[in-house]
Copies of this chain bind each other. A is one copy, B any other.
Amino acid sequence: MKKVPHRLYLSEDQIPRQWYNLRADMKEQPDPLINPATMQSATQEDLTPVFCTELARQELDATTRYIDIPQEIRQMYKVYRPSPLIRAYQLEKALDTPARIYYKFEGNNTSGSHKLNSAIAQAYYAKAQGLTSLTTETGAGQWGTALAEACAYFHIPLTVYMVKVSYEQKPFRKAVICTFDGKIIPSPSDTTNVGRKILAENPHTGGSLGCAISEAVEAAVTTPGCRYVLGSVLNQVLLHQSVIGLESKMALEMLDEYPDVVIGCAGGGSNLGGLAAPFFQDKLTGKANPRIVAVEPASCPSLTRGRYAYDFCDTGKITPLARMYTLGSDFMPSANHAGGLRYHGMSPILSKLYHDGYMQAISVEQTKVFEAATFFAKHETILPAPESAHAIYGAMQEALRCKQSGEAKTILFGLTGTGYFDMTAYTAYQEGTMTDYIPSDEDLQRGFAGLPQVPGQPE
């Protein structure tokens, strides 16, 4: 085996020139998006009022295996990529494990997370199409920050509907978005019909991600030259995020390494889908058989306790229907500091792969996540985001099993970002006031009760 540095940086010439489209290697495809108005498969025409034309095309493209990354996007990737592949020497030593642990660290950019990889692509295509503005929603703020950064770079105005409770609790996220000239509207707002309706019913609501999505979509389709962009769940997002996995695989190959297990945190699936994409390819094509593990919060367990069913992507129920593991768009995830994982559904691609046995999933309570995060921070000296710490927890469990069995497995996990804006959560953990909320079976039933009726869908 080659000598492994602590941090392996590829050269900028090694930044992928093409994204990898996982669907091209899936023998069984995810079920198509459905237009709820017609109950037919969504067409490009259905999607283009909401999404950029090229992004709508990518959303529906299940056959092109590799898609060229435009020069302008690669140019901005070069500003912060390749991201390092880090050998967790300190963590291995602290755990006294024979396992070799690697993590792909996506927090080394101002947005602080992997979200920038897709934000740049989406902002670029919007600009190239001649659009004059974009809308999006943000909860925890990683996506809003990343998209604001990308829009500042491509000079395209952005309006961010930010969940009101986050807007009030996270003034620092707001300030970063404003630094990049993003316009922020606390949601629900009086700027949209759906917002006004919700406010009329409940003037003091703190809002929700689903509501913010509904407002952002409404604003996009009612504003000339404007489209809506989304940071997770969608096929196009997994496509863009494949740079994470492609770089990881290339770096591991340079070290003569191949992972026995690939671990990612899972909310909507953007990071895990990107990180694991080329390893799923190996499984689908029979070249290799690494285990792929999703780690989700016990408070929002779409894979481990959800249903594989058609559902809306938003609580306002105005988006197309996607077949995915879901807790129901009416499910209200209980409070959890990993805001980026508080989503009722899961990427349709990952849902299908999970359903077909290509992926495993575990769920974990947030106090255990913060215990892992703190342990990791002390030894690896990177302060992880709570979302990312789910993957850390999964990797540590694997490494401890290796300690018991004596196996020197190779573990790869995705460290999606830093926790600088999550110190309230760390403080709650340190002060012992953090609580674990786990939905009861009754909570889940209430969510499932709101699932839409789709003809031909299994119960």
Binding site for B on A (CB under 8 A): 5-7, 9, 11-12, 76, 78-80, 89-90, 108-112, 149, 152-153, 171-172, 174-176, 178-181, 374, 377-383, 418, 420-421, 423-424, 426-427, 430
A5-B11, A178-B426, A178-B430 are known; give 5 further A-B pairs, CB within 8 A. Answer: A6-B12, A79-B89, A79-B380, A110-B382, A175-B426
**Secondary structure dominating the interface of A:** helix
Pairwise interchain contact A5-B12, C-beta atoms closer than 8 A? yes
| A76 CB contacts on chain B under 8 angstroms | 381
Q: Report yes or no: A378 in contact with B5, Cβ–Cβ below 8 A.
A: no
The copy count of this chain in the complex is: 2
**A321 vs B383: C-alpha distance in the bound complex, in angstroms?**
38
**A79/B381 in contact, CB under 8 A:** yes
Give CA–CA (A179, B426) in the complex, Å.
7
Report chain B residues within 8 Å CB of A5: 11-12, 78
* A183 CB, nearest partner CB in chain B, Å: 12
Query: Of all chain B residues, which has the CB nearest A426?
Result: B175
Q: How far, in angstroms, from A165 to B381 measured CA to CA in the complex?
A: 27
Contact of B179 with A377 in the complex, beta carbons under 8 Å: yes
30 contacts between A and B (CB under 8 A): A5-B12, A7-B12, A7-B78, A7-B79, A76-B381, A79-B90, A80-B381, A90-B153, A109-B382, A110-B381, A110-B382, A110-B418, A111-B381, A112-B420, A153-B378, A172-B424, A174-B427, A175-B424, A175-B430, A176-B383, A176-B423, A176-B426, A178-B426, A178-B430, A179-B426, A180-B377, A181-B378, A418-B420, A420-B420, A420-B421
The residue in chain B whose Cβ has the minimal distance to the Cβ of A105 is B108
Q: Chain B residues near A180 (CB, 8 Å)?
A: 377-378
Structural contact, B172 and A423, CB atoms closer than 8 A: yes
Q: Which residues of B contact A427 (CB under 8 A)?
A: 171, 174-175, 178
